[in-house]
Amino acid sequence: APEACAGECIAGCSMTPGTRPDQLNHPSDIAFDSQGSLYVSDTWNNRVQKFAILNGTGAYKILESST
């Protein structure tokens, strides 16, 4: 089994747990909708954050956060 993998962080990239929009605290699930928006279940913050892709650039921004 591989010990590491390469990728790009698109959510919770601060690597520090917290409640700011760019932070997650125990993310447990992800899902995508038909428009490519990413939903992250942020368990210990009791919220779901929605990230939308920016005009086909591959970059995401936080659209909304709901508790």
pTM for the full predicted model: 0.68
Domain boundaries, the chain: 1-67
Per-residue pLDDT of 15-44, as tens digits, reads: 778 888 778 888 899 999 998 888 889 899
Whether the CB-CB separation of 55 and 46 falls below 8 Å is answered with no
